[in-house]
Amino acid sequence: MRWKVKVIVRLKEGLNDPEGRVIQKALRNLGFNVENLRVPKYFEFELESEKPEEEAEEMCRKLLANPLIHEWEYSVEPVS
C-alpha cells in the first residue's frame, strides 16, 4: 500500500540552532516581533509499505536524524 509520509526532525531542547538565530534576527530587523524561531529538518515523500510507521521510525534512526541530538515526529496517511 502507498503512503504519504511527512517527517519533522528537531534539535533537542536546549541545543543551539544557529541558522534559526540568524533568520530570527533578520526578521526582527524587518520589524516582526518573532521569538523562539527554529529551523527543523522537514521531509515529505511517498512510501510503498505494509508497515509505514515502523519504516518511518527506522528511517529516522538510520538516516534522517541523529538520535543523540534530534527528536522527530512523522505523520502517515494513505495516498488516494
Rule CB under 8 A: say whether 36 interacts with its own copies: yes
Size of the site for its own copies (CB under 8 A): 31
Closest CA to 10 of 60, 72, 77, 66: 72
CB atoms within 10 A of CB 16: 8
- Residue found by looking up cell 495516498 in the block: 79
Site track 37-76 with its own copies (rule: CB under 8 A), x = hit? xxxxxxxxxxxxx-----x--xx--xxx------------
Residue with smaller CB distance to its own copies, 25 or 69: 25
CB atoms within 10 A of CB 45: 11
Site residues for its own copies per CB under 8 A: 8, 20, 23-24, 26-27, 30, 32-49, 55, 58-59, 62-64
